[in-house]
């Protein structure tokens, strides 16, 4: 199946705190008007940033597993279990297992940027669980390097514990012009270009673009720029349960 590519300018857009925080959403809510609806165990994916700092006020969550990946700068997090603010720096990761319910708030500090990604862990099971969270420091994640690339592994054989079906979450920096990935036809590979330009199976993708590859056994990525970098997530095409998106008729892709 040909790769689906959503350029940055075609992604749903959002803002908080009077425009102090801006967002591009590869996977947005139905009302956001984006091209991509929830699929696999991925429900929502936002790239948020702030030039001078901004706040997303306290708000509730239930059921989902919500992960924040700090890309640049610093953020601060408050929730109803912690009852205080905690700081996270570039490279750090946080997971909120929202369970039966939790409220939280976020600050994105000057020149900060994050991914916030929601995963569906099967709400029929998690809505009865107490909420929990963990923070993971950047230096706690393994990094593997060879002639072709450097790979930071955040999920998949690491200390990060998730209920959702996620095979891996990785950040890959390319050292050579071409890298061929062996894929599983029953999995979906979702990635965001963090930096640079690449050719994906012959199609160009640039910084901020989003791509989905599934039902393929091979993916060829050719970096046009040295040190091009992607953020990639592997999940099952069929997680084996009725996701919230399917239950509510908003799933797609």
How many folded domains does the chain comprise?
Answer: 2
Which tens digits make up the pLDDT trace of 63-102? Answer: 999 999 999 999 999 888 777 899 999 999 999 999 999 9
Q: Are residues 222 and 134 in the same domain?
A: no
pLDDT at 140 over 70: yes
Residues 50 and 150 in one domain: no
Backbone angles phi, psi at 72, to 5 degrees: -145, 155
pLDDT digits (tens, 9 = 90+) for 186-241: 999 999 999 999 999 889 999 999 999 999 999 999 999 889 999 999 999 999 99
Closest by CA to 233, choosing from 192, 195, 194, is: 192
Work out the number of other CB atoms within 10 angstroms of the CB of residue 78.
17
Q: Output the pTM of the full model.
A: 0.96
In a domain, 243, yes or no: no
Domain CATH code at residue 207: 2.60.120.10
pLDDT band at 247 (very low <50, low <70, confident <90, very high): very high
Domain range for residue 79?
Answer: 10-140
Q: Which of 118, 140, 162 is the last residue before a domain boundary?
A: 140
Same domain, 62 and 49: yes
pLDDT tens-digit readout, 18-66? 999 999 999 999 899 889 999 999 999 999 999 999 999 999 999 999 9
- Looking up tokens 């993916």, which residue turns up? 219
Query: Token pair of 69, please?
Result: 């990946």
Looking at the fold, whether 76 and 152 belong to one and the same domain comes out as: no
Looking at the structure, tell me whether residues 95 and 149 fall in a common domain: no
Are 80 and 194 contained in the same domain?
no
Q: Is residue 244 part of a domain?
A: no
Pair 189, 229 in one domain: yes
Given this model, what pLDDT does residue 253 score?
64
pLDDT at site 219: 94
Q: Domain check: are 107 and 196 in the same one?
A: no
Look at residues 85, 110, 140 and tell me which one is the last residue of a structural domain.
Answer: 140
In this prediction, residue 43 carries a pLDDT of 98
Whether 241 is covered by a domain: the verdict is no
Q: How far apart are CA 59 and CA 149, in angstroms?
A: 39
């Amino acid at each position: 199946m040909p790769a689906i590519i959503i350029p940055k300018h075609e992604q749903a857009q959002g803002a908080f705190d009077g425009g102090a925080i801006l967002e591009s959403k590869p996977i947005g809510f139905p009302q956001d008007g984006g091209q991509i609806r929830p699929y696999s165990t991925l429900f929502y994916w936002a790239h948020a940033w702030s030039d001078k700092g901004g706040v997303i006020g306290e708000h509730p969550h239930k059921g989902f597993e919500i992960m924040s990946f700090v890309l640049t700068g610093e953020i601060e997090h408050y929730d109803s279990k912690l009852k205080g603010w905690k700081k996270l720096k570039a490279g750090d990761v946080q997971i909120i297992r929202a369970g039966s319910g939790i409220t939280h708030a976020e600050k994105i500090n000057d020149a900060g940027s994050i991914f916030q990604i929601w995963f569906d862990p099967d709400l029929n099971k998690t809505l009865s669980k107490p909420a929990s969270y963990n923070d993971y420091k950047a230096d706690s994640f393994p990094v593997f390097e060879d002639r072709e690339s450097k790979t930071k592994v955040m999920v998949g054989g690491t200390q990060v514990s998730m209920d959702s079906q996620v095979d891996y979450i990785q950040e890959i920096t390319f050292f050579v012009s071409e890298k061929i990935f062996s894929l599983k036809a029953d999995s979906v590979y979702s990635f965001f270009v963090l930096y640079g330009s690449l050719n994906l199976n012959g199609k160009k993708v640039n910084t901020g673009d989003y791509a989905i590859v599934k039902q393929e056994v091979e993916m060829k990525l050719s970096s046009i720029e040295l040190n091009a970098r992607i953020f990639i997530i592997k999940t099952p095409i069929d997680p084996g349960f009725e996701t919230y998106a399917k239950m509510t008729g908003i799933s797609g892709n």
